[in-house]
Structure 1
Amino acid sequence: MDVKPLIHVVDDDASLRAALLRLLDAAGFDSRGYADTGEFLLHPVPDRPGCLLLDVNLPGPSGLELQDVLQQHGCQLPVVFLSGRSDIPSSVRAMKAGAVDFLQKPAQSEALLAAIGRALARDDAQRTARAEQQGLKALFATLTPREREVFDRIVAGKLNKQIAEDLDTSERTVKTHRSQLMHKLGADSAAELGRLDERLRQVASDQGPGIARVLPAS
């Protein structure tokens, strides 16, 4: 990574929070500490690699409630939970909601850093997927509405003649649209268009409905 990961630590225990920040600094990370959910929410999360070390039991809104708020606002910052007691229902809820790990305090340094490593790996994968999503959306957005319709039918396996009949136009016009869209998408064959379509749909599946509006109809 070109930018040092930023680890956010939300814990109301000042001494533990300070110890965690020292550990993270020694491990080569940038870190920020917050005493509760409200303090964390007052500081915008910068767009840089990182994750969140989050205490479950906080004064005011709990760590689990903060996790819900972040998800509702589309924040994909990976979360590693810390808990002062064994709490199976909370751990199950946290993991179902996408937490990377749920560690009991005091967490061993090795276990904590390993969990942070997994969280950062997830963050990197999510950032890569978002970058691909944005690139594919931008690429596909260069197509005209008619080129999108032709693209949809090409990847469905239809021939130019069939596409022309579907769109009530000439086969020559379809060939022109086909040539133009292949040039825009950097594809040399229908097979490459098919692979591009699969990538588009995979990204849509991984990232949610945000890309659906630029995908051709099934």
Structure 2
Amino acid sequence: MNLQPQVFIVDDDYAVRDSLGQVMEAAGFPYLLFESAEQFLEIYKPGQCGCLVLDLNMPNMTGDELQAELIRLNIQLPIIFLTAFGDIPTTVRLVKAGTIDFLTKPVTSKVLVERVRAVLREQSLVYEQNKYNPLAALTARELDVLRLVIVGHSNKQIARQLGISHRTVEVHRARVMEKTGSSNLLDLVRCCSESQIPNPPVQ
């Protein structure tokens, strides 16, 4: 798993995509380019941290549809939206959904670099924290699953106790193993013994 923060650029316009890549390269930011939201979802590995610079209006899956899918998958990746057709209702809706910033095209290189640098700085702090405590990378639901896995509960038992589907448990469990670098239950128990599991929130 690569926890080194980088910039993920998703834009269906080749010229814009290439230009944004050049801006990131000049600023010294590691980056990856994607021509569609679907391509990003195929390649992105849960747990990779950084910043998503996302075009709003794209064919097939739009930028806000990608944001909704990331939320559904419990992927917490900061998003900076870029669009030539922004409006206040859309901006408000996206910010409420967790968008970090909403910039209107054309945006100056200086402004974009400043926004991206601020996000990557924060993500670098997360990266440093995760190096010493891999459990810090887990979402609240993944921690719920982890607590039940290490005491011997089966996936069906976990699904019943948490009120989620068996398939959802399998997905969360796979992400827990990936994020903690564990290949089996023994590795996972060892990881938990070496790291402090955050207490669940008070109901």
Bin of the TM-score, shorter chain as denominator length? 0.5 to 0.7
RMSD across aligned positions (CA): 3.2
Instruction: Write the letter of the residue equivalent to 1:75.
Output: I
How many correspondences in the alignment? 146
1:151 is aligned to none
2:26 is aligned to 26
Check 1:74–1:129 CA distance in 2 against 1; reply closer, same or farther (3 A cut): farther
SS in 2 for 1:42: helix
Calculate the TM-score normalised by the size of structure 2. Answer: 0.61
Measured in 2, the distance between the counterparts of 1:50 and 1:30 equals: 9
Q: CA deviation at 1:49?
A: 3.9
Q: CA deviation at 1:112?
A: 0.4
CA contact (8 A) 1:100 1:115 kept: no
Instruction: Write the letter of the residue equivalent to 1:134.
Output: L
Q: Which has the higher contact order (CA 8 A, sep 6+)?
A: 2
Calculate the TM-score normalised by the size of structure 1. Answer: 0.57
SS in 2 for 1:24: helix
Greater CA radius of gyration, 1 or 2? 1
Check 1:20–1:129 CA distance in 2 against 1; reply closer, same or farther (3 A cut): same
Check 1:99–1:46 CA distance in 2 against 1; reply closer, same or farther (3 A cut): same
Check 1:134–1:5 CA distance in 2 against 1; reply closer, same or farther (3 A cut): closer
1:86 aligns with 2:101: no
2:66 is aligned to 66
> Deviations along 1:161-188, whole A, 9 cap, x unmatched?
xxxxxxxxxxxxxxxxxxxxxxxx9xxx
Instruction: Write the letter of the residue equivalent to 2:38.
Output: G
Structure 1 residues not aligned, in runs of 5+ = 146-184, 186-198, 204-210
Structure 2 residues not aligned, in runs of 5+ = 137-142, 152-192
Percent identity, aligned pairs only, is 32
Measured in 2, the distance between the counterparts of 1:97 and 1:126 equals: 21
Measured in 1, the distance between the counterparts of 2:21 and 2:121 equals: 20
1:189 is aligned to none
Q: CA deviation at 1:86?
A: 2.8
1:36 is aligned to 36
Measured in 2, the distance between the counterparts of 1:78 and 1:40 equals: 14
CA contact (8 A) 1:80 1:119 kept: no
Instruction: Write the letter of the residue equivalent to 1:22.
Output: Q
> Deviations along 1:60-86, whole A, 9 cap, x unmatched?
111111111112112111110001123
1:52 is aligned to 52
